[in-house]
């Protein structure tokens, strides 16, 4: 690769400090999302995604699992998922809400006193989704006939599988969607979600997963990471749905905004130097500077004014506005200190902006060019080995 020196946003750091942020799940997810949000994609192949995004398979599973929990994706077959899109979110949330309320009737979690194996398991029927295709070959869901309270199914320590991530995600979401609270601290979530805690070991593991989920949900803009008011405890704030141009009769295309991405989204592979460098001068130098410029960051208003989300079933949120304002050119922020960063933008607003928080900014990248190229000539780039 000719290192044509285009303007590299990145600078300094001669020794290419490996940065975790570059490979974070959240970022990866953002790429994933923007990649498949372009018109017309319907099926998502795991391998395809993996190579396209330049990551290992394993990571794709993480993303896909949580996205499925929110309805954006649906498992179709081995190695394949169906892209439902963002417009599937409202519905999924609605279902999650009802479901959550239902199971919530019997027991108030809150004080869970001593119940060792309580582990609030709740299986869930999960989305059924009115699928357009009635016919199906293999069936998957084992629906227990309306086991309202779920009874003691699960003989055995039941599901060796389906134990986490997907479910954890849904439970996490239910938690927000079922209560009016919109800010929950991390450990609250952990305790609530897995009712056991006690043993720090188990909880620690769960918390890790929670971070994973949180990252993905953050990419979706469903939540945001913050910390409780005064305390320094990390917490999550529910942003909920943003103004979706949704209306009764939806139509397939026309949906929300689409972010296009030009060029490669591929993350370069920089491994996290495990034992680190081979003594013999690593030649990795600095060449490849990735030009993965991140777009992103459109804030949605979490209409704070409304305490209660709504009790009405219909989701008519949108106290306002479409978030589709795009700004070309992108370099709008004249940060005092050059904050261009290399990549990574989005969800970080460490400073306390008391009220200026709800602003709407969206920087969008160009990409139109690439887009054209693609449309016109079909991008030849494709090395799916």
DSSP state letter for 180: S
Which residue number, 227 or 258, has a Cβ lying nearer to DNA? 227
Shortest Cβ 186–DNA spacing (Å): 5
Which residue number, 225 or 244, has a Cβ lying nearer to DNA? 225
DSSP state letter for 243: B
Which residue number, 18 or 352, has a Cβ lying nearer to DNA? 18
**Number of Cβ atoms within 10 Å of the Cβ of 250:** 12
Which residue number, 111 or 272, has a Cβ lying nearer to DNA? 272
**Which SS3 state, helix, strand or coil, does residue 229 take?**
coil
- DSSP lists the bridge partners of residue 227 as 234
- DSSP lists the bridge partners of residue 234 as 227
As a whole number of angstroms, the distance between CA 236 and CA 222 comes to: 10
Torsion of CA 193, 194, 200, 206, to 10 degrees: -70
As a whole number of angstroms, the distance between CA 73 and CA 88 comes to: 9
Shortest Cβ 65–DNA spacing (Å): 6
Shortest Cβ 29–DNA spacing (Å): 9
Which residue number, 274 or 283, has a Cβ lying nearer to DNA? 274
* Contacting positions for DNA (CB under 7 A): 17-21, 23-26, 46, 55-59, 61, 64-65, 78-80, 160-166, 186, 201-202, 204-205, 207-209, 211-212, 214-215, 225, 227, 234, 271-274
Asked if 72 contacts 89 with a C-beta cutoff of 8 angstroms, the reply is yes
Shortest Cβ 324–DNA spacing (Å): 27
Which residue number, 166 or 262, has a Cβ lying nearer to DNA? 166
Helices (H), 220-264: none
Shortest Cβ 361–DNA spacing (Å): 21
**Number of Cβ atoms within 10 Å of the Cβ of 163:** 12
Residue partners of 219: CB distance under 8 A and separation at least 6 = 26, 27, 29, 30, 33, 346
Shortest Cβ 319–DNA spacing (Å): 29
Residue partners of 50: CB distance under 8 A and separation at least 6 = 56, 57, 59, 60
Shortest Cβ 267–DNA spacing (Å): 9
Which residue number, 48 or 303, has a Cβ lying nearer to DNA? 48
As a whole number of angstroms, the distance between CA 293 and CA 338 comes to: 15
Shortest Cβ 376–DNA spacing (Å): 33
Which residue number, 32 or 317, has a Cβ lying nearer to DNA? 32
């Amino acid at each position: 690769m000719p290192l044509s020196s285009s303007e590299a946003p990145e600078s300094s750091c001669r020794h290419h400090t490996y940065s975790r942020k570059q490979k974070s799940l959240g970022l990866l997810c953002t790429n994933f999302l923007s990649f498949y949000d372009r018109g017309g994609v319907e099926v998502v192949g795991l391998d395809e995604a993996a190579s396209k995004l330049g990551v290992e398979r394993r990571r794709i599973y993480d993303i896909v699992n949580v996205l499925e929990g929110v309805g954006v994706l649906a498992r179709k077959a081995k190695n394949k998922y169906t892209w439902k899109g963002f417009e599937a979110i409202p519905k999924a949330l609605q279902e999650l809400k009802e479901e959550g309320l239902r199971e919530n009737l019997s027991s108030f979690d809150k004080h869970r006193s001593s119940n060792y194996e309580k582990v609030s398991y709740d299986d869930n029927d999960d989305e059924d989704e009115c699928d357009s295709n009635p016919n199906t070959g293999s069936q998957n869901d084992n629906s227990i006939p309306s086991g309202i309270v779920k009874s003691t199914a699960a003989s055995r320590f039941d599901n060796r599988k389906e134990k986490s991530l997907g479910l954890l995600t849904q439970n996490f979401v239910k938690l927000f969607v079922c209560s009016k609270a919109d800010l929950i601290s991390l450990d609250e979530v952990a305790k609530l979600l897995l009712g056991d805690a006690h043993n720090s070991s188990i909880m620690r593991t769960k918390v890790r997963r929670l971070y994973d989920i949180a990252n993905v949900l953050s990419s979706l803009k469903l939540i945001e990471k913050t910390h409780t008011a005064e305390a320094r405890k990390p917490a999550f704030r529910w942003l909920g749905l943003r103004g979706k141009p949704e209306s009764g009769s939806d139509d397939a295309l026309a949906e929300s905004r689409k972010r296009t991405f030009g060029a490669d989204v591929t993350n370069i592979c920089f491994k996290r130097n495990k034992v680190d460098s081979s003594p013999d001068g690593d030649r990795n130098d600095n060449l490849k500077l990735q030009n993965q410029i991140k777009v992103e960051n459109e804030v949605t208003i979490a209409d704070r004014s409304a305490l209660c989300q709504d009790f009405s079933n219909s989701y008519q949120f949108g106290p306002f506005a479409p978030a589709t304002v795009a700004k070309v050119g992108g370099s709008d922020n004249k940060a005092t200190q050059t904050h261009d960063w290399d990549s990574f933008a989005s969800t970080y607003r460490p400073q306390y902006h008391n009220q200026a928080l709800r602003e709407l900014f969206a920087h969008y990248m160009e990409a139109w060019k690439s887009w054209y190229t693609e449309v016109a000539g079909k991008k030849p780039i494709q090395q799916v080995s």
